[in-house]
Amino acid sequence: MIATIQYKSKRLKVDLSKPLDISIPIRHGAKNVNAWYIGPPKIAPEKFDDDIVSVKEGASVNFNTITFNPHSHGTHTETVGHIVEEKHSINKALKQYFFLAEVVTVAPEKFMKDIVISAKQLKFALGNKVREAIVIRTLPNQKDKKTMQYSNTNWPYLKEDAIEYLVKKGVKHLLFDQPSVDREKDGGELKGHNAFWQTSESIRTDATITEFIYVSNKIEDGTYLLNLQIAPFENDATPSKPILYKIIE
């Protein structure tokens, strides 16, 4: 279904029948993607005394309890409440859900003992484009990103200057295909997170970071309409389902 959408001062044509899901779902067990040194998520029928509430076990309904951590177990969107003492709920901070987004593919570079994305690389990828959201796909881009056990792998991250560049460009919604925009072990500095939310200045409470996305190789670099869907948790972070729609020229 082709729809014409008024987005700020622009009229965009998108095909709503062809959504491009860039989320990683949460599933039970060890094959679920994971980071931050905790066990896998659990999805299992609730028990009352000796009764298992599952249709398979004779109950009239399935009644699963889900135990997970949004930061460790799949695509999630977070607000500044993730790194400051004051509570900031993602359910209250994110008040709009459609944004003009640019998908860029970047091959992280070696930096000392790390693999990083620099401001220079993002400047080349974005050029003079101005977008509210950026979706960063790192190379290599294999399907094992959807099941990877990331703890103690020192994944690729964004250098502080790269984050500062995005803030200057007016990016309010950063989507990244690694567990964190920061180094896995950085002594708690979280330079990228702090730079993005500008915690030493006037905090950008309406800005969000989405991590653990997976952008299929079938999705081309370019401009998309992003629908940033979240589960309504009153928490600093929540599982999310970002959807891209190709803009029809």
Going from the C-alpha of 170 to that of each of 22, 44, 167, 218, the distances in angstroms are 22, 43, 5, 27
- Asked if residue 54 belongs to a domain, the reply is no
Backbone angles phi, psi at 195, to 5 degrees: -65, -40
Q: How many separate domains does the chain show? A: 1
What is the Cα–Cα distance from 8 to 156, expressed in whole angstroms? 34
| The pair of three-digit structure tokens given for residue 1, joined into one six-digit string | 């279904």
pLDDT for 8 equals 83
Going from the C-alpha of 64 to that of each of 49, 53, 102, 239, 240, the distances in angstroms are 15, 8, 37, 17, 20
pLDDT for 35 equals 98
Beta-bridge mates of residue 243: 21, 227
pLDDT for 29 equals 97
Tell me which residue range forms the domain holding 110: 2-25+70-246
Q: Is the peptide bond before 40 cis (omega within 30 degrees of 0)?
A: no
What is the Cα–Cα distance from 135 to 156, expressed in whole angstroms? 15
DSSP for residue 134 = E
- Asked if residue 109 belongs to a domain, the reply is yes
- Asked if residue 41 belongs to a domain, the reply is no
Write a three-state SS string for 78-106.
ECHHHCCCCCCCHHHHCCCCEEEEEEEEE
pLDDT for 175 equals 99
- Asked if residue 8 belongs to a domain, the reply is yes
Per residue in 145-202, pLDDT (tens digit) is 999 999 999 999 999 999 999 999 999 999 999 999 999 999 999 999 999 999 998 9
pLDDT for 74 equals 97
The model carries a pTM of 0.96
What is the Cα–Cα distance from 88 to 82, expressed in whole angstroms? 8
Closest by Cα among 81, 73, 85, 97 to 23:
73
| The pair of three-digit structure tokens given for residue 194, joined into one six-digit string | 């702090």
Closest by Cα among 206, 207, 220 to 166:
207
Low-confidence spans in the chain with pLDDT less than 50: none
Task: Identify the CATH number of the domain in which residue 241 sits.
Answer: 3.50.30.50
Backbone angles phi, psi at 81, to 5 degrees: -60, -15
- Asked if residue 86 belongs to a domain, the reply is yes
